[in-house]
Amino acid sequence: MTRPDTLPPRSRLVRERLAEAGIDARIVVLPESAHTAALAAQAIGCPVGAIANSLVLVADGEPILVMTSGAHRVDFSVLAEQIGAQTVAMAPPTVVRSSTGQVIGGVAPVGHPAPLPTFIDESLSVFDEVWTAGGTPQTVMPLGFAQLIEVTGGRLVRVR
């Protein structure tokens, strides 16, 4: 396990936010960046479906966070219908950074300047433990599925 004082600053912030929620997070620093679910799953040794990708999207002009299984892609029209939005699209990198304080490939479910409306892919519910980014593309952490819902206040939705 990585010592908390050796974590990157963004990962330390994520760990602090989780601790405030009563979760003792184990953030792991990977030897190389894991920008894709397949790379993260390979590095961790878990199924790709247990990777909870953090996608910052724009729904009707406002940023949202969607935690989706690494085993599939989001269908924006299905997601829009699920959340009651007219439009859903990928957020540009500047919006990802300004709304989360983190970069694409490293967005954690928490540790943002302000909470984002969060939606969680219902297909993640088949895993007791899911792996999320830990605030940087090189850090990951396991969370119980129930913990993910609790800490984000996320709503379960279909994304495909």
Q: What is the CATH number of the domain that holds 105?
A: 3.90.960.10
Tokens of 74: 């989001």
Give the residue among 159, 141, 158 at the shortest CA–CA distance from 46. 141
- Residue 2: its pLDDT value, please? 56
* Total number of domains in the chain: 1
- Residue 3: its pLDDT value, please? 62
- Residue 39: its pLDDT value, please? 84
In a structure prediction context, what are the per-residue pLDDT tens digits for the chain, which is 160 residues long? Answer: 456 578 999 999 999 999 999 999 899 998 876 667 888 899 899 999 999 999 999 999 999 999 999 998 999 999 999 999 999 999 999 999 999 999 998 999 999 999 999 999 999 999 999 999 999 999 999 999 999 999 999 999 999 9
Q: Which domain holds residue 45?
A: 4-157
- Residue 6: its pLDDT value, please? 85
Nearest-angstrom CA–CA distance, 75 and 80? 9
- Residue 37: its pLDDT value, please? 87
Show the DSSP H helices in 34-140 as ranges: 37-44, 76-83, 93-100
